[in-house]
Amino acid sequence: MRSELRKQKAVKKAGYYSRRRNEKRQYCVKYDVAFLLPILLIYDSVKYDMDFYHSKLISKCGLFTGESVGLAKASLVFQDEQTIPYLLQYFETISSGEQFRRMYVFDAVVFNHDRHYGNFGVLYDTENLEVLRIAPAFDHNRCLFPELEDGQLSKPAWYLGKCRPMLGRDFVLTAKNLLTDEIRADLEKLRNFSFSQHHKITATQERLDALGKIVRTQAEKILT
């Protein structure tokens, strides 16, 4: 892995990374899902917000790499796909087992079916290329079915049944196996969770209510 890390550009300008969003309804994913929920479940996650840039809706987040710290994605670290126990064991060796568990439980709650090996990884020291810890959880833009219309979300059973994780075979069963007493206690806080409106960009209340119900139901399944 070290030879590949040397090829990566480690120096990044401080500031914000932004991505254009094509539809307003994705605000629910990039603001509430990617900001509020990780606070409850993930200690170290990239904080996203929504804004307008040249009249275009964008999502933005602060950079978490720089001159001294780089990002190595999991595809570079592991080469091939691995089992959940293998991944957990690896992250425990870099004192990041708890963070990996929380990332997966979060993904299970919000049906993040896009946690492929390019969407998680480790931070490393750019001077000596030593791995430091798991990278902050990032890129949640496929959570909670942004492609679905409000009416489809009101009866989501078919879509939920077809949704499968990139890591592991089943969201609920894998999340159950990764629970600790501390994560369980934080997951309990989602029993009464509801989404709130963004201060700039609004979604329909119908959509927010439907998404809140999906989160509460999924959290309950993992807890029981």
For β-strands 121-125 and 56-62, DSSP reports them as unpaired
- Rounded CA-CA distance 109/131 in Å is 29
Quick check: 50 and 30 in contact, CB under 8 A? yes
Helix intervals (H) in 8-149: 27, 37-41, 74-78, 84-93, 97-109
From 71, 67, 58, select the one nearest 27 (Cα to Cα): 58
For residue 62, give the DSSP letter.
E
Instruction: State the pLDDT at residue 22.
Output: 44
Q: Which residues contact 180 (CB under 8 A, 6 or more apart)?
A: 98, 101
Domain boundaries, the chain: 2-223
What CA dihedral angle connects 120, 89, 39 and 147, to 10 degrees? Answer: 40
Instruction: State the pLDDT at residue 75.
Output: 96
Q: What's at 140, amino acid-wise? A: H
Instruction: State the pLDDT at residue 6.
Output: 61
Side-chain-side CA neighbours of 158 within 13 Å: the count stands at 5
Instruction: State the pLDDT at residue 139.
Output: 85
Both tokens of 210, joined, read 């439907």
Q: Classify domain 2-223 at the CATH topology level.
A: 1.10.1070
224 residues of the chain, pLDDT tens digit each: 766 666 554 333 334 444 544 444 444 444 455 455 555 677 777 777 778 888 887 777 788 899 999 999 999 999 899 999 999 999 999 999 999 999 999 999 999 999 999 999 999 999 999 999 999 998 887 888 888 999 999 899 999 999 999 999 999 999 999 999 999 999 998 999 888 887 777 788 898 899 999 999 999 999 99
From 108, 90, 94, select the one nearest 183 (Cα to Cα): 108
